[in-house]
Amino acid sequence: MSTEKEQSRFGKIWSNYRIVFVFIIFYIVCTLLTHGKFGTWNNMSTILRNASTIGVIALGMTFVIIAGGMDLSSGPVLACVGSIFIFLQGAGYPLILPVVVCIAAAIGIGLVNGLIITKAKIPPFIVTLAIGIIARSVTTFICQGKTVTGNNQDLFVKKIGNGSIGSIPNPLIIMLVLAVILTIILTKTKLGTYIISVGCNENAARYSGINVERIKIITYMIVGACTGIAAVIEMSRMVAVSSVSSGQGYEFDAITAVLVGGTALEGGRGTIYGTVIGAVLLQFVNNMMVQMNISIYLAGTLKGIIIFLAVFLNSRNRSGS
């Protein structure tokens, strides 16, 4: 009887924190395969730093996907607001101005995405794709197709993306703080409940008196804010923006991180900590390629296998639970 109880308790823990177990399994396997080198803090801090930009976008993306939406504009928007950041920073304005303008511009683009999706009733896939194409084109125009460098003698701005507090990389701290705030919003506030309700059943949410359009717009503004913050991290690393390669494919990496983290593509279900782990797992691939000196041509294969395994392990018995 007690064994059954223990089994059911373990089943519940496994069911609730599946992605954490998946992460631990991957961590142990990778560490064993590299004779301990993978698991060192030096290596892990590299992985966590590199995961932060995509991770921050993915945090916002989690809200959009839980609410039943999708944002394909995040990568180009990162480049677009990043170019504004670089121009203002390069022009010598106090750092606070480029940071605020960059984040505000990204929130503004999120608002435009949300308004068009809800008011014009056009599917999010099409709206955000179109906005992404526009954002990339505007970036190319602003930068005239070049890579534009800001004031890279400013060591303070470099600290945002490259510095650490103790041995913890700054981008990781930003991602974790944001993750805590967004977890509170998602799980402890009415807004979070409304977002989940809209994603579960839009009509039922509407009949319950929830302003569905408003909730959807807010989710696009949240992903906008996260993209703006990610742009600040990314731009502060290199103090340069490339009109073509900055943010390239980030939207898909962010969506992948969200899905690997256990958020349902159909909406209504997901966790912030799952997304953080999803983003870190994606970085495991690049790191393991180097650690194990695997042929560069097999990067896609390894990435595919890890995504498949993570989603498979994370979704086992979901229907049963």
Contact call for residue 318 and other proteins (CB under 8 A): no
Contact call for residue 227 and other proteins (CB under 8 A): no
CA dist., res. 236 & res. 159, Å (int): 7
Contact call for residue 140 and other proteins (CB under 8 A): yes
Stretch that binds other proteins, among 61-69, 95-103, 182-190, 230-238 (CB under 8 A): 230-238
Contact call for residue 211 and other proteins (CB under 8 A): no
Stretch that binds other proteins, among 13-21, 37-45, 103-111, 311-319 (CB under 8 A): 37-45
Closest distance between other proteins and the C-beta of residue 111, in Å?
A: 27
* Comparison of 143 and 195: residue with beta carbon closer to other proteins: 143
The residue among 300, 299, 296, 263 whose CA lies nearest residue 278 is: 263
State the DSSP string of 150-185.
--TT-HHHHHHHH-EETTEEHHHHHHHHHHHHHHHH
Determine which residue in the list 3, 153, 293, 319 makes contact with other proteins, applying CB under 8 A.
Answer: 293
Closest distance between other proteins and the C-beta of residue 242, in Å?
A: 6
Closest distance between other proteins and the C-beta of residue 9, in Å?
A: 38
CA dist., res. 317 & res. 285, Å (int): 26
Contact set for other proteins, span 177-196 (CB under 8 A): none
In angstroms, what CA-CA distances link 318 with 35, 68, 187, 312?
A: 34, 19, 20, 10
Q: Are 88 and 136 in contact (CB under 8 A)?
A: no
Contact call for residue 137 and other proteins (CB under 8 A): no
Determine which residue in the list 7, 16, 245, 317 makes contact with other proteins, applying CB under 8 A.
Answer: 245
The residue among 258, 259, 271, 70 whose CA lies nearest residue 183 is: 271
E strand intervals along 168-279? 168-169, 240-242
Pair of tokens at residue 214? 């408003």
Name residue 94's amino acid.
Answer: P
Q: Are 291 and 37 in contact (CB under 8 A)?
A: yes
Closest distance between other proteins and the C-beta of residue 121, in Å?
A: 29
Contact call for residue 246 and other proteins (CB under 8 A): yes
Contact call for residue 129 and other proteins (CB under 8 A): no
Closest distance between other proteins and the C-beta of residue 129, in Å?
A: 14
Q: Compute the 3-state secondary structure of the chain and give helix, strand, coil in percent, each to the nearest 5.
A: 75, 5, 20
Determine which residue in the list 139, 227, 287, 314 makes contact with other proteins, applying CB under 8 A.
Answer: 287
Determine which residue in the list 2, 42, 167, 203 makes contact with other proteins, applying CB under 8 A.
Answer: 42
In angstroms, what CA-CA distances link 55 with 2, 144, 227?
A: 41, 29, 10
Contact call for residue 206 and other proteins (CB under 8 A): no
CA dist., res. 40 & res. 37, Å (int): 6
* Comparison of 123 and 145: residue with beta carbon closer to other proteins: 145
Determine which residue in the list 22, 61, 107, 148 makes contact with other proteins, applying CB under 8 A.
Answer: 148
Instruction: State which H helix or E strand residue 149 sits in.
Output: strand 147-149
Contact call for residue 31 and other proteins (CB under 8 A): no
Contact call for residue 147 and other proteins (CB under 8 A): yes
Stretch that binds other proteins, among 46-54, 58-66, 120-128, 192-200 (CB under 8 A): 46-54
Q: Is 211 left (phi over 0), alpha (psi -120 to 50) or beta?
A: beta
3-state secondary structure of 30: helix
Where does this chain bind other proteins (CB under 8 A)? 37, 42-43, 46-47, 49-50, 140, 144-149, 162, 234, 237-238, 240, 242-246, 248, 286-287, 289-291, 293, 296-297, 299
